[in-house]
Amino acid sequence: MPHVLPLLPLFLAVGACEHTTPFSVSDYAPTAPLAPGNPTRLTYSTGADYGASWLPDGSAFLYSQEQSGLDHDRCLALMPGGGGAVTRTICDDGDPDGDSLNAFLSAAVSPGSRIAYVRTAMLAFSGGAGPDNAALVVAPFGNPLAAEVARVLPYISPSGRSVDIASEVAWAGPATLVFLAEQVSYPCTNFGCTTSDTVATGLEIDRVDLGSGSPVLSVVPGTDLAAALTVSGPDTLYFALGGSPQVHQRILSTGADTVVFTLGDTPTGLTAAGARLAATVSGALHVVDLATGMDQVLRASGADAPALSPDGHALVAQVADSANGFVPDLWLWTVP
């Protein structure tokens, strides 16, 4: 909320006249959360806030932010790691009339300052359920709209599966992207099918190698029905498969695969930093110490899409419950 400065009486202004620095208005944007604590709520907008992803240095994180305009675009917002005011918003600037729903999703920034994200667009108010066009794109973080297409969506993967969308995009090295390849359906939610839901089902983990000119697409072996994915370092994946409570660690360069932890059900979100793993399982937010096997539940319900900071001591996750009308907001936990 902006701060309103009271007007000074004229006689005070005159009486205090000196040859000093001219009066200027300071930046009153908040630099900390509205209500600090552990956990603390970071976002309060009426739209959905979701899909946090940390910068490599841990100074801030990106997330998708639903806008309040008529077409409800989804932009990327950058927030300081400890919370506070958004310092940067990245939106599609090619729709001045607001007649398209443009979304920037699943963003990830590489140590080399490149940003990858999923870009979708559809005509607003057209009655369609899915996007008219979509792509996984890569750009300089300093100029994120100067994007090059790494993979047009949808596509037929090398496995023969029809992939509709990519999610949980991550950098596995300076020129390699990995992501969940998903199929999307739009089941009706009411009689007459005037409204529909969006249901994404994981098919596999795909990778795109960008270092040889044209992007090269491949499938990460043994990831059929992948349900969650995260990256820790340039060569290590953690993932879960649909219908299984196991969390796998995969070394990309060697193909070595190890089950590192077993949860109570299939994880829907994963994140890792060092020897710490966080997961959401049936809405519960878990933090696991892989060295000791200790599993701590930070929240019992309503959580998804966890994101650990690079040092493993800050955890951002989206929370949707009755308190916010089941519209996701972002919360921050400090983990010792």
pLDDT in tens, 82-96: 999 999 999 987 766
Q: What is the pLDDT of residue 68?
A: 82
pLDDT at 25 > cutoff 50: no
pLDDT at 124 > cutoff 80: no
CB 237 within 8 A of CB 219: no
Peptide bond into 111 cis (omega under 30): no
pLDDT at 10 > cutoff 50: no
Give the closest residue to 116 by CA, choosing from 86, 141, 99, 79: 141
β-strand pairing of 114-123 with 133-140: antiparallel
12-21, 64-73, 164-173, 193-202, range with the lowest pLDDT: 12-21
pLDDT at 222 > cutoff 50: yes
**What is the rounded CA–CA span in Å between residue 90 and residue 76?**
5
Give the closest residue to 75 by CA, choosing from 46, 113, 48: 48
Query: Vertex 162, ends 114 and 152: CA angle to 5°?
Result: 35
Q: What is the pLDDT of residue 294?
A: 97
> Dihedral, CA atoms, 242, 244, 232, 235, nearest 10 degrees?
-80
pLDDT at 277 > cutoff 50: yes
Q: What is the pLDDT of residue 127?
A: 59
31: pLDDT confidence band, cut at 50, 70 and 90? low
- What's the mean pLDDT in 308-333? 95
Give the closest residue to 228 by CA, choosing from 307, 153, 150: 307
Query: 130-181: per-residue pLDDT in tens?
Result: 788 999 999 999 999 999 999 999 999 999 999 999 999 999 999 999 999 9
Helices (H) and strands (E) in the chain, counts: 1, 26
Q: What is the pLDDT of residue 128?
A: 63
Q: What is the pLDDT of residue 64?
A: 98
Q: What is the pLDDT of residue 18?
A: 41
Determine phi and psi for 330, rounding to 5 degrees. Answer: -100, 140
Q: Which tokens is 10 given?
A: 């004229």
- What's the mean pLDDT in 232-237? 93
Q: What is the pLDDT of residue 26?
A: 45
Please tell me which residue, 299 or 191, carries the higher pLDDT value: 299
pTM: predicted TM-score of the whole model, two decimal places: 0.87
CB 199 within 8 A of CB 189: no
pLDDT at 311 > cutoff 60: yes
pLDDT at 103 > cutoff 80: yes
Q: 75-106: b or e for each residue (b if 16 or more CB lie within 10 Å)?
A: bbbbbbbbbbebeeebbbeebeeeebbbbbbb
Strand partners, 212: none
pLDDT at 62 > cutoff 90: yes
- What's the mean pLDDT in 113-137? 86
Query: 184-221: per-residue pLDDT in tens?
Result: 998 888 887 877 788 999 999 999 999 888 999 999 99
**What is the rounded CA–CA span in Å between residue 272 and residue 249?**
10
Q: What is the pLDDT of residue 29?
A: 58
